[in-house]
Chains A and B, each alone.
Chain A
Amino acid sequence: MPRLGELEAAIMAVLWSVPDPATVRDVLGALERDPQPAYTTVMTVLDNLHRKGIVTRERVGRAWAYRPAQSREEFDADAMAAVLESSSDRSATLLRFIGRISPDELARLREILAEEKR
C-alpha cells in the first residue's frame, strides 16, 4: 500500500467527501488549496492514483469520473497495517509476536497443529 503525497491526500479527501464519482473539474472545484493547482496537475495525480489502484474510474461523457476504491476507514487501516508489515521482525522499534514464517516452517507448524488436534 503506497503512502499518499500531500496533494494526493487532499484529492482523496475530496473524493471521499462526495457521494458520486467526481471528474477532474469537480475535484478542482471542491479542492481548497492556495495556490489552486492546475487542471493538468490534478488530472495527472488522479491518473497516478488510478494506476496505483487507489481509485477506480468510469466514462462520463468525454471525461473520466473517479471514485475511491476503498472507504477512508479501509484505506487508513490498510496503510497502518502496511507500515507495521514493513518493519523488520525484531528491532528496537517494534517487536512482533510472530516473526515471518518460511514455507518449511509453515509445513512443520501444520504437522504440530494436526498432532495437537488428535
Chain B
Amino acid sequence: MTAALILLAYAALLGLIGPRLMDRFRWDTASPRLAITTWFALAVSFTSALVLAGAAIVLPARGHSGAAAGLVHDCVAALHELHGATGGSIVAVIAAALIWAVPIGVLVAAVSVARSTAAERSRLRRALANAPRDPHLGAAVVSSARPAAYCIPGKGGLIAVTSGALALLDRSELAAVLAHERAHLAGRHHLLIALAQTGKRAFGALPLFARLPERIGHLVELAADDAAARSSTRSTLARSLLSVAAAQAPAEALSAAGGDTVARIERLLDASPGRGRTGIGTILGGHAAVAAPVLILAVPILTAVSFACCQV
C-alpha cells in the first residue's frame, strides 16, 4: 500500500507542478528536441506511475495460482482481509481503475485523435488536389495573394506554398522556408503533436496535459527552425519569417493567446550563428541534461520494483 501511495503522490506531483518546473528551466530555446523528450518523459512517467500504483495495491494479494476469474476473486478477498469489507471494495475498485481504465482511456483518446486527424487530412488533400505541383520546389503552389507555407503530413507528406509567398521571398529565403517544412515532415512532427493531443484528451484536466499540444507545437517549430538554419543561415530564415509574418492580416481573436512568431524570430536573431544560447542545458552540459528524461522515466519503475522486492 505504501508503494501505491508514493506512486500516486509522485503522479500528482508531476501532473500538477511538472509544467511549472519545466518552465523554470528555460532549456526549450537551447534545445527544443531535449525539451520535447523531457515533456513526453513526464507524460509517460505520470501514466506508468498510475498503472504501477494500481499494481502495487493488488501486489500483496498475490501468490495465488489458477484461472483469471479465481485470481480476481482471491485478490478481492485478500483486499477485504487487509482493508475491511467496505475499504477493501473501494481499494479494489481504485486498483482496477488504475490498472485498466488508465491504459484503456489513453487508447480511446489515441483512436479518436487518429480518426479526426485522418478525416481532416483527407479534406485538405482533396482541396489541394488541383493545385499545380512545382517539381523544383517540391511543393504544391496555391494561388493566393496571402504569403503562407504549410505542410500536410502523411503519405510521404505534401508541402504547399502560396503564390503570394513566391512573390514575396527571394530564392534563399524560399529555400529556408521549404527546409523548415521538410524538417517537419522528416522529423514526423505531426506524430508528436498527435501524441500530445492524445495526452490532453485523456488527462486534459491536469496542468501537465492541459496545454501539451500547444507546447509541443511550439517546440517542433523551434526544432524545424534549427534544422532549416543548418542548411540555410539563421538570419535568412529570420528574414523570411519576418517578411511572411509582417504580411499577415492580424487575427483579433488571437490577441489573448498570442502566437509564437515573434519569439521564434528573436531567438533566430539573438543566437550566435550555429551555436545555441547558453541556457541551463549547455551549462549543465548536454550529457547531464539528457539524463533528465531518463531519470523521470525511471522513478516510478524503480519505486515499484524496490517495493515489490522488499514486500511492504
Contacts and interface: CB of A to CB of B under 8 A. Distances in A.
A90 B259 CA distance: 11
B152 interface: yes
B234 interface: no
Contacts of A91: 117, 120, 190, 193, 197
B49 interface: no
Interface in A62-104: 73-74, 76-81, 83-84, 87, 89-104
Contacts of B259: 89, 98-102, 105
B113 A84 contact: no
Contact of A112 (B120, B123, B160, B242): B242
Contact of B120 (A78, A87, A101): A87
A83 B124 contact: yes
Contacts, number: 155
A83 B127 contact: yes
Interface residues on A, range: 35 or more
Interface residues of B, number: 61
B150 A94 contact: yes
Interface of B: 113, 117, 120-121, 123-124, 127-128, 130-131, 142-144, 146, 148-153, 160, 162, 177, 180-181, 184, 189-191, 193-194, 197, 213-214, 217-218, 220-221, 224, 239, 241-242, 244-246, 248-252, 254-255, 257-262, 265-266, 269
Interface of A: 73-74, 76-81, 83-84, 87, 89-106, 108-110, 112-113, 116
Given A80-B144, A97-B244, A104-B255, 14 more contacts: A76-B130, A81-B144, A87-B120, A90-B214, A92-B197, A96-B149, A97-B181, A99-B259, A101-B261, A103-B252, A105-B250, A105-B259, A105-B262, A112-B262
- Ranked 10 nearest A-B pairs via Cβ: A90-B217, A83-B127, A81-B144, A77-B143, A92-B194, A97-B149, A99-B259, A100-B251, A102-B255, A103-B250
